[in-house]
């Protein structure tokens, strides 16, 4: 489960980096590549949230508080 979460987070960061790259290098006003990369990032973020919620519901992960 931890590996799946880490892979999703790496995908989110990679997509964000791709959007930044297209923002910097694409000089046209119509940057579809950047919009696509940000759309992928949003999709991955929502999927990760749903995955975490489902894993919690089935008892695969347990939330814990921050210990002082």
Region for residue 59 given its phi and psi (left: phi exceeds 0; alpha: psi -120 to 50; beta: otherwise): left
Q: What pLDDT is recorded for position 54?
A: 94
Structure tokens at 43: 């999709």
Say whether pTM exceeds 0.75: yes
Extents of the domains making up the chain? 2-57
Per-residue pLDDT of the chain (68 residues; tens, 9 = 90+): 889 999 999 999 999 999 999 888 877 766 788 889 999 999 999 999 999 999 999 999 888 877 76
Q: What pLDDT is recorded for position 46?
A: 96
Q: What pLDDT is recorded for position 10?
A: 96
Alpha-helical regions (H) of the chain: 2-25, 32-57
Q: What pLDDT is recorded for position 55?
A: 92
């Amino acid at each position: 489960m931890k590996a799946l979460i880490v892979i999703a987070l790496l995908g989110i960061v990679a997509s964000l980096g791709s959007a930044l790259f297209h923002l910097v290098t694409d000089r046209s006003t119509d940057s579809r590549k950047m919009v696509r990369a940000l759309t992928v990032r949003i999709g991955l973020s929502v999927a990760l949230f749903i995955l975490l919620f489902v894993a919690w519901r089935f008892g695969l992960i347990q939330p814990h508080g921050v210990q002082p």
